[in-house]
Amino acid sequence: MQQGRAALIRNEADLVVGIGCFVLGLQEDDFKDKAIAVLGNSCFIEEYRNNRTFLRGLQKLAVEIEDANPHVREVRIPTSADNDYTNRLYRKLTNKMHTYDSNYGKVNVYSMPFEEYKDFCSRFR
């Protein structure tokens, strides 16, 4: 996490129920362009795997991204090309930018301006 941050999602009892992360910059560019935030894997405990928790995670990441670099202009969201659920979800937010091969299979990357991402997240407060 040298190039980014993790965000913890807590429940009403202040127990950690999920985690999300991001990096600033692109790995292939040696993380030089800090105006691009790339979301990483998220994980939630079973009973909190729902849309509300997922949206809360996106909101928390928006806050952390802006805190890490107030000049971020773009958010990229990679997901497995084989994951129908996340691809359907991200297509509702924005367009697919490109697909690449990784050690874990094909990955689709979705992209949107940070302000649009932040506006989307704020609609669900």
Angle 41-67-72 from CA coordinates, rounded to 5°: 75
Q: What is the mean pLDDT of residues 85-93?
A: 88
Residue 53 has pLDDT above 90, yes or no: no
From the list 79, 53, 75, the residue with the least C-alpha distance to 62 is 75
Domains of the chain (ranges; CATH) run 4-122 (3.40.630.30)
Specify the pLDDT at position 108.
97
Q: Cα–Cα distance between 26 and 34 in angstroms, integer?
A: 8
Report the interhelical angle of 51-68 vs 114-122 (nearest 10°).
Answer: 140
Specify the pLDDT at position 1.
66
Specify the pLDDT at position 125.
64
Q: What is the mean pLDDT of residues 27-41?
A: 94
Q: What is the mean pLDDT of residues 65-81?
A: 96
From the list 98, 42, 39, 107, the residue with the least C-alpha distance to 79 is 107
Q: Which of 33-37, 50-54, 59-63, 83-87 has the highest mean pLDDT?
A: 33-37
Specify the pLDDT at position 72.
97
